[in-house]
Structure 1
Amino acid sequence: MTDINWTQLPPLSTLRAFEATARLQGYSAAARALNVTPAAIAQQVRKLEAEIGTKLVRREGRGLTLTDAGHQLSHPLLEAFTLIADGIRDLERSEARRGVRVSTTDYFAGMVILPRLGEFWKKHPTLQVSLSPDGNTAPIDLDTHDIAIRGGAPGQKWGDYQVAKLLETPMILCAAPELIGTGKVDLSSLPWISDRGIGGGVFEEAVSRAGCDLAALKLVDPGNAKLELEAALMGYGLRFTPELTVRDHLADGSLIKLDIDLEMTGIYHAICQKGPIPAQTRKFLDWLLEICAPLSVGSGRP
């Protein structure tokens, strides 16, 4: 492939104005196509003629015609601009087929996105959405994903990204009814399900706020974050968690919220690369913001 010396090429604006003039056979038609005035088109064509040192168009009656040099230049320009337009359209089609790739957590996907995803597809039936339940502590990889959804404490920094707050939820202690019984609960005497899903020292802070000594607790480690909820439902220990992730279980009584206010809040954010957000990603992000608003603390939800 021949290297392109951009310093020797005329400005793109002059090439585009001439190509449209040649293809559409006049300044007025070219001006309509490029949404500028005929005078602006004529000025750009004159600049191109001065740049390359030859006439490209000439008056003929009330119209324009191309000179031999104009004909010679118009054909490769048409091919070049057609290639560019086709390349952009092919890329747009490819991006449309790829859809939106979202890195999230199992529980956010299961509690927030999947139950409502049908609503999104009613609005955007051809837009594919791929969810990767990477977990809250997974590195944020925005080369692989368009959006990363992560939970964190208020004020947490997420690096050099665009960040949109999705929702805020209380952090609570909960357990299966058979674990805590009906009497007064001694939190230090009960097993706790260790945290692999939140990270950042938040679990340790919760233990301290609950008046317990982490070193003296019996910790139940299910092995990974995905099994923490299952372990709690089976009565294996207390679970420290965002209220959002167990809301349905609290409603049906399979888990009970302990009457202790940790005064801790979790905030879920949608994280994107800086710069322009692709149209498909923007559609999904706007939908996320819409569905999360009524789920957040202070939203007025029942």
Structure 2
Amino acid sequence: MNIRRKLPPLAALTAFEAAARVRSFTKAAAELGVTQAAVSRQIHLMEETLGFPLFRRLHRSIELTDKGQVLSTAATSAFNLMADTIAELTREEDEGALSISATLAISHFWLMPKIASFSRLYPDSRLRIVSQDSAAGLGGSDFAIRYGNGAWPDGRAEYLFDDELFPVCSPEYAAKLGSAPTLEDIARQPLISYDSQNPSWIGWEEWLAAFSIKLAKAPSGLRTSFYTEAVYAALSGQGIALGWKRLLQNLLDTRSLIRLTEQSIVTRDGYFLIVPPRSANNTKALQFIEWLKTEAAD
């Protein structure tokens, strides 16, 4: 029996899985690199093929129908199984390399600048960085670096560090604001924000609320899909972003970004290295764990 005859088109199934997982057509479109209209069309095609609705379209949100929820669970499980299998096969082809999964922001701003020091210490060890646009899954990787409370079932969580948040912008933008802008001054500027699938990540509304300042109902400023894009928008002078100190330390040290105020908040959660059981007693893996924890404590 041809199983493909029982399945919706792959493009529609991919769009549905992403939209169901992130609960948003817009975020699914950003993840897949297509337009929101394209995601909507693919899901509509899938609903027509199946003969029943998968989502309830609410005023400003969507929610899965009962049948949609059942299909979402199956689709995500199937995609995860395929991803894990491909990762494991890739890992076999690249035997001997340690693979580390991390979000785009962590790998780009914190991990990658440090890799050279690991290579100098352990020239016989090879690393492969797997950057993801959402919470880092292990798949076939030897490690994952995640932000959260440390309670994950797929491995031992080794604490690395927490973080401190404060407003940052380019030197040129800071010069326009003048010396010592108040938080009220900052709140009136274009505030660069970003979408995050991690509810623990802190945005402008929560940060300003910590100082009893309300964010405008329709704040001006660019909104990006990922934190990396928000940082580059700030670097190019498009407004003010929230700076995560440990991620942006190099940019702050070189004054590519300027800290605007002494006020800051410390994160509730922290960054952790997730070590699955298969990596717990591997000699090269243990070297990497020791090196990473030293870098985190520096």
TM-score, length basis structure 2: 0.58
Displacement after TM superposition at 1:103 (Å): 0.7
1:134 aligns with 2:132: yes
Correspondence for 1:258? 260
Q: Deviations over 1:172-205 (max 9, x none)?
A: 2111233342153412211111123573152142
Mapped partners of 2:265, 2:114: distance in 1: 30
Report the Cα distance in structure 2 between the residues aligned to 1:216 and 1:96, rounded to whole angstroms. Answer: 49
Helix, strand or coil for the counterpart of 2:151? coil
Q: Is the 8 A contact 2:103 2:146 kept in 1?
A: yes
Cα shift at 1:271:
1.0
Give the ranges of 4+ consecutive aligned residues of structure 1 lying more than 4 Å apart after TM superposition: none
> Per the alignment, in what secondary structure is the counterpart of residue 269 of structure 1?
strand
2:231 pairs with 221, 229, 234, which one? 229
Partner of 1:46: none
Counterpart of 1:101? 99
Deviations 1:28-57, CA, capped at 9 Å, x for gaps: xxxxxxxxxxxxxxxxxxxxxxxxxxxxxx
* 2:20 paired residue number: none
* Contact 2:150/2:159 (8 A) holds in 1: no
Tell me, in whole angstroms, the C-alpha distance in 2 between the residues paired with 1:162 and 1:288: 15
Q: CA deviation at 1:214?
A: 5.2
Which structure 2 segments of 5+ residues have no match?
A: 1-91
1:168 aligns with 2:168: no
Deviation, 1:276, is 6.0
Work out the percentage of aligned pairs sharing the same amino acid: 21
Contact 1:173 1:260 in 2 (8 A): no
Contact 2:195/2:224, CA 8 A, preserved across alignment: no
Residue type of the partner of 2:223? D
2:214 to 200, 212, 221: 212
1:96 is displaced (CA, Å) by: 8.1
Secondary structure at 2:238's aligned position in 1?
Answer: coil
Structure-1 residue corresponding to 2:62: none
Distance in 2 separating the partners of 1:260 and 1:198? 28
Q: Partners in 2 of 1:253 and 1:128 — Cα distance?
A: 32
CA RMSD after TM alignment: 2.8
Kindly provide the amino acid, as one letter, of the partner of residue 97 in structure 1: E
SS at 2:237 equivalent: coil
Deviation of the 1:147 alpha carbon: 0.8
Aligned-partner residue type, residue 108 of structure 1? I
Whether the 8 Å CA contact 2:105–2:227 is kept in 1: the answer is no
Which structure is larger by alpha-carbon Rg, 1 or 2? 1
